[in-house]
Amino acid sequence: MTKLSELAKTIRSKNAGVDKITFDIIFTDRAVYEKVLASRAITAAKISSLYGIAQERIADFVEYDPACAIKFTIYRTSPSGSAGDSDIFGAQQYAPLLDIDVPV
């Protein structure tokens, strides 16, 4: 098993409008990207479980081959910048992805 953080060049999250946060997992090596996809270590169902959210909160989940990237977007529970919002830019939400074990 290898941690996703050791395989991907970039793992990030960011604001995607007032009601969404988007995540990017980008690889520089196509072979590694394809092994991660084949392992099924990152799926919408696993993201749902990892973040403790219903799958209906995942607005988009895309395996984007031209960029060797996995991208997904989740709906926020409250609007960005509203009272109680702890991460207005959505930039601190990627951390759980770092420790995903990938069998490669």
Please give the pLDDT value at position 78: 87
- Summarised one tens digit per residue, pLDDT across range 21-68 is 999 999 999 999 999 999 999 999 999 999 999 999 999 999 999 999
Please give the pLDDT value at position 15: 94
Please give the pLDDT value at position 90: 87
Supply the pTM of this predicted model. 0.92
Please give the pLDDT value at position 42: 97
- Summarised one tens digit per residue, pLDDT across range 68-90 is 999 999 999 888 988 888 888 98
- 5-31 burial code (b ≥16 CB/10 A, e <16): eebbeebebebbeeebbbbbbbbeeee
CATH 3.30.70 fits 2-80, yes or no: yes
Residues near 103 by Cβ (< 8 Å), separated by ≥ 6?
1, 2, 39, 41
Give the three-state DSSP class for 2.
Answer: strand
Distance (Å, rounded) from C-alpha 27 to C-alpha 9? 5
Please give the pLDDT value at position 104: 81
Q: In the chain, where are the structural domains located?
A: 2-80
Residue type, 59: A
- Closest by CA to 4, choosing from 22, 26, 19, is 26
